[in-house]
Amino acid sequence: MTSEATNIHATAIVIGRTGLLFLGPSGSGKSTLAFSCLAAARPLGLVASLIADDQVLITEQNGSIIAKCPPSIAGLMEIRYTGIVRMPYISEGEMHFAVRAVDPATAERLPPDDEHIDITGSIRLPLIRLAATSTNPLAVIMAKIGASFD
């Protein structure tokens, strides 16, 4: 079964075979955290690709959550205060986790275990909360999900 795509405000990347959907309001650090993850993955020998930045078309296809890039922004990522950069990209990928950038000054110190978030009315993903100021977000994500992204 395939649902109709919904355009959401997010950034989607794939590290190895793991899809990460970064969520949060404008200016919360989604693109910066995603960019940091992409940059950290390559020296580890991991395949790392942008799917889409700022606008993500999200749909469910045969039980998988798929993120697609609107063609007009393919391969483009905004790095706040730097500008728009070109990135290696893929046009779509399966999403496995949602990552929410949080402000350390106001975030819960210990969020609930096994937390999930509704992406659309029918699409839900496990949620990872990550400090917007994290210096090594990929390492934090890897520790949280207990995976090496191989």
Q: What is the pLDDT of residues 3-48, one digit of tens each?
A: 789 999 999 999 999 999 999 888 888 999 999 999 999 999 999 9
> Does the residue 125 lie in any domain?
yes
> Does the residue 61 lie in any domain?
yes
> Does the residue 131 lie in any domain?
yes
Cα separation of 42 and 61, whole Å? 29
Q: What is the pLDDT of residues 39-78, one digit of tens each?
A: 999 999 999 999 999 999 999 999 999 999 999 999 999 9
> Does the residue 130 lie in any domain?
yes
What count of other Cβ atoms lies within 10 Å of the Cβ of residue 136? 12
Q: Global pTM?
A: 0.93
Does pLDDT of 98 surpass 70?
Answer: yes
Judge whether 27 and 103 are in contact, CB under 8 Å: no
Average pLDDT over residues 124-140: 93
Q: Write the CATH number for 13.
A: 3.40.50.300
Higher pLDDT, 2 or 112: 112
> Does the residue 150 lie in any domain?
no
| pLDDT (0 to 100) of residue 80 | 83
Residue 43 belongs to domain spanning: 6-145
- Residue of 26, 24, 40, 32 lying closest to 102 (CA atoms): 24
> Does the residue 87 lie in any domain?
yes
Judge whether 53 and 19 are in contact, CB under 8 Å: no
Our count of domains for the chain comes to 1
| pLDDT (0 to 100) of residue 148 | 65
Average pLDDT over residues 113-142: 92
Does pLDDT of 107 surpass 90?
Answer: no
> Does the residue 1 lie in any domain?
no
